Amino acid sequence: MNYSSQVVDLYLSKSHLVDPKVDLEGQLAGAAGDCERGCRIGFAACVSDKKIASLSYQAWACPDTVAACEAICRQFEGMPLSEARVAAETLNAQDLMLSLQIPVEKAGKILTLQDALLACLGVKAK
């Protein structure tokens, strides 16, 4: 499979990827998906002064999806929590996929990413 240069760069950096054995106590955390169906994503956020001080992820997914998780972490860190919740609710999967040149057949995985992010931030899925 061919991956875009953005996906390769984000996938190789994985600076927000956290080991599944790391204790997430005291953090906002949420997950979505199922490994048996090919995609499981979890996010964890440390909040300080009502802002997302750090956002990390755990992912059992393809490189495109891991890269999208990394991009989301970079985008959301530093955001006020209230703004991040709105941004997660209004996240446009198609725009994210276009910006990273992720193929349309991965749309379900990007929606799983959004579900995990919403769960982490305490937003009820519509």
Residue 39 and residue 33: Cα distance in Å, rounded?
A: 6
Give the per-residue pLDDT at 36. 87
> Is 3.90.1010.10 the CATH classification of the domain at 5-121?
yes
pLDDT digits (tens, 9 = 90+) for 47-100: 999 999 999 999 999 999 999 999 999 999 999 999 999 999 999 999 999 999
- Residue 125: its pLDDT value, please? 63
Q: Could you tell me the two tokens for 60?
A: 């059992």
The pTM is what? 0.92
Residue 34 pairs in a beta bridge with 39
According to DSSP, the residues that pair with 43 across neighbouring strands are 30, 57
pLDDT digits (tens, 9 = 90+) for 14-46: 999 987 666 666 689 999 999 888 899 999 999
Alpha helices in the chain (DSSP H): 5-13, 63-76, 81-89, 93-100, 107-121
Cβ neighbourhood burial of 108 (10 Å; 0-12, 13-18, 19+): middle
Q: What is the pLDDT of residue 124?
A: 76
List the chain domain ranges: 5-121
The residue that leads in pLDDT, 72 or 122, is 72
Spatial distance between the Cα atoms of 116 and 105, rounded to a whole number of angstroms: 19
